[in-house]
Structure formats: C-alpha cells, structure tokens
Structure 1
Amino acid sequence: MRRLPIIPTILVLAAVAVMIGLGVWQLQRASWKHELLTRYADAAQDDTAVAWPGASDQYDDLYYRRSSFTCAEVLGRDAIAGRNSDGEAGWVQIARCRTARGDPAAVQLGWTQDPQPISWNGGEVTGRITRYGEGIRLVADPPVEGLAANAAPDPRALPDNHIAYAFQWFFFAITALVIYFLALRRMQAKSAD
C-alpha cells in the first residue's frame, strides 16, 4: 500500500478543520440570533416609550421599541418600496430630519400608492424604531395626515439562516473528505497498474 501524500493531506485536513470550525461558529451565531430575535419580539410587544437615541451605540437596545421625536427641520424626502398595514405593496414616504436637539433622524411617515414625496414640514412623530441602512428610522404610528398606516416593523422578517449555513459548512467538509478519498483511491489504482 502506498503512503499518503503528506502536503496534500495536511492541506485537505486543514481545510476540513476550517470548514468544521465555520460550521460550529454558525451554530453559535444561531443561538445568539435566537436570543436577539426573542429580545426584539419582546420589545415589539412592549408599548413603553423610550427616548429617541442620540448615539449609534444605543441603537441595538432600542430596535422595535416605541419612541418619538420632533422633526424641527426637514432635510430631505424620499419614497421607497414598502407595504401598508394590510400588506399591500406601494411606497413608504421617508423624511430625513434634524431633531429639536440637533441630531439627524429619519422617519417613515406613512404609505401611499404614489411615489412622489409628500409635502411635510416636520413636527412631532411617534412610532417604532427600526433599522435603516447603517442607522435607524422611526416608523410613524399613526402615519402623518394624508398617508395610510405603515406595516409595523416585525422582527420575524429578519433573516435567521445560521443553522442552514452551519449544515452547508459541514457538508462542504464531508464533500472535501470524500473527494480526497476518491482521489487517493484513484492514485493508488493507477500506481498498482
């Protein structure tokens, strides 16, 4: 019987170890994600209002919580694809504001079928905090006058696919071992001829 090639065997075993490590890491991330989603689901059920955050290090603890702020100055308006409280597709109107204390803030004013941004000059808005790119926005509840109710931010809409990623990494590790084993058998069969 021929000896195993040392360098290829070490490389394959190292790659398999890395893939298994990544699978284990994804399982740990799945546990963390389930805890996070449970915390977000609890926050979405809680109607206790929190202060609008002034710094990004406060965001994670406030997602899906009720809050409010005064839009002292409207800096810009956008319309992005979104859904209303009945699940219909259309446009949600977003206003970028400066709060009364001078911080930038975004508010999802409400839903409409028309992508043209509405005229809104600011004021007090109340709703729930959710993600918005790298920042946050307040999803107004109730919506501002002239717009329909937004779909409520739902933590169940966040992706939770770490278990699938873990199994994918474990599958890759097994596949690498099988391919290497078949390659070794083929090399041994050729050397026996």
Structure 2
Amino acid sequence: MSTEAMRGRFPWGLTIVCAIALALLVGLGTWQVQRLQWKQGLIARSEAAATQPPVSLETLAQLRDPEFRKAVLTCDLQNQPFVELQSIHDGQAGVRLISACESWLIDLGFVADTVSARPERQPAAIPGIVAEARKVEAPNGFAPLPEGNRFYARDTAAMSRALGIDGPVRPYVLFATGSAWPQWAELQPSAPPAAFSNNHLGYALTWFGLALAVIGFYIALLRRRLRPQAALLPEQGDRAKETFH
C-alpha cells in the first residue's frame, strides 16, 4: 500500500473530536488552577484581617477592598429604621434585620420566624458595636421582588433606597458581631462563616488527568488504525517478487 493510501485512511474525524475534548479539559483544568490561586488569596486575606484591630467607618471606606475587615459602628442603631431579609440560619427559617450607618448597610442579625415581636426603641444607643465587612453579589433577575419592608433577596440597591441611603451603592454589607439590643435575646448577630472549601487543586488534577487519558486513548487508536496497513507492506513486496519470477 502506498504512502498516499495510508494518509487517506488517517482518522481526521477522531483527531478533531479528541482535539476538542483535549482543549476543553485543559481549559477546565487551567480555570481550576486560577480558582485555586484566587481562593488561596481570599483565605490569606481573611486570616490577615482577623488579626487586625477594628477601624472607623471612615477608614474602612478608604480601603480598596475592605472585605473581612472589622469596623466600629457609632450610629444609634437601636433607633434607626430597618428592613427584613428572608433567610435561613442553622436550618431555621427567619429574617435578618438590615439597617444603615453612614451609608453602609448593616446586617444586625437573625430573628427566627417563631418570634413575632420586634425590638423597641431605646433612649440611648449601644456604642462600640463591631461589624465585619463582607462582599455580596447582586441578585439575579429571577429574585422575588420585595413586599413592603420584607425582602427575599439581598438586593443592596433596593435596600439602600428603602433605608434612605444616598450616593453609590456599596458592594459590601457590614455584619454586626455584637447585638444592638443586648436585652433582646431573640436577635442573633452573626457574620457569614469565613471557612472556605478549597478543592480546586483536586479538580484541576482531575481535569488534567482526563486530558492525559484522552491523549493516551487517541495514540492507542491511531496506532491500531495505522499498524495493520503498515504490516501489509512486506507481504505485498513478497507477492510482487513471486509475480515477477
């Protein structure tokens, strides 16, 4: 069989399919490596912020990325209006009370649905409440619309309008770590947990491993496809000699 005939039997379809699969798997593996670097940076920032003392809201506003940093709240949160965000905390349904302080949204904490009462106004503020800044994502277009002061998604823009906050909407919410109403035990202040799952290295190795498997699969099929054709060449040569003689 001639070289041209062997080239005619080259598995172009298989090559294209394997090339597409290889590009997809390598792309997914590379993306997971990038996610790994991002997650490691996020964990490092969280750990570094935990060792730093709380700052003022003015200082917090000057930081390029204040996520995980703590600030001292000086507003009279006991006498500020708030809206309610439907939420679940430790498997229990309820709401989170959202107020404002110096153009920052303040998550005051969780109240279970079994509690119908709301805190009463107090004659004096509770000074020195510490809150942790966390970045929040804007809700998607399928999020339910608010009903009065009850929200069903953390729509910071709509919450800011409802609370009378002027100016640009910050992509951060301050989560109070102390209660604005210490005498009201039903309120549970809490910031989102800073524990991060970091399985991106395992995912990357999985995708790259599958890419190597595709390469091995392609080489094995290619050799199997071409070897029988190459093996016929000596036999054809012998037959040609017999015919000549």
Q: Which has the larger share of strand?
A: 1
Q: The residue matched to 1:77 in structure 2 has which SS? A: strand
Q: The residue matched to 1:126 in structure 2 has which SS? A: strand
* 2: CA distance, partners of 1:131 / 1:73: 23
| Deviation for aligned residue 1:51 | 1.7
Aligned partner of 1:74 among 71, 77, 81: 81
- Once the two structures are superposed, the pairs formed by residues 42-53 of structure 1 within 5 Å of their partners are 42-51=48-57
* 2: CA distance, partners of 1:176 / 1:82: 45
Does the 8 Å CA contact 2:133/2:173 hold for their aligned counterparts?
A: yes
Q: Which residue of 1 aligns with 2:46?
A: 40
Does the 8 Å CA contact 1:44/1:154 hold for their aligned counterparts?
A: no
Aligned partner of 1:165 among 172, 189, 203: 203
Q: Which residue of 1 aligns with 2:193?
A: 154
Q: The residue matched to 1:159 in structure 2 has which SS? A: coil
Does the 8 Å CA contact 2:69/2:133 hold for their aligned counterparts?
A: yes
| Deviation for aligned residue 1:40 | 0.9
- 1:129 maps to amino acid: A
- Once the two structures are superposed, the pairs formed by residues 165-184 of structure 1 within 5 Å of their partners are 165-181=203-219, 184=222
TM-score scaled by length of structure 1: 0.66
* 2: CA distance, partners of 1:133 / 1:120: 31
- 1:108–1:91 Cα change, 3 Å: farther
Q: Which residue of 2 aligns with 1:95?
A: 97
* 1: CA distance, partners of 2:120 / 2:217: 63
Gaps of at least 5 residues in structure 1 are: 84-88
- 1:16–1:117 Cα change, 3 Å: farther
Q: Aligned Cα RMSD in Å?
A: 3.9
TM-score scaled by length of structure 2: 0.55
The percent of aligned pairs where both chains have the same amino acid is: 21
| Deviation for aligned residue 1:37 | 0.6
Q: The residue matched to 1:49 in structure 2 has which SS? A: coil
| Deviation for aligned residue 1:77 | 1.2
- 1:97 maps to amino acid: S
- 2:99 maps to amino acid: C
* 2: CA distance, partners of 1:153 / 1:46: 18
Q: Which residue of 1 aligns with 2:118?
A: 118
Aligned partner of 2:36 among 25, 30, 37: 30
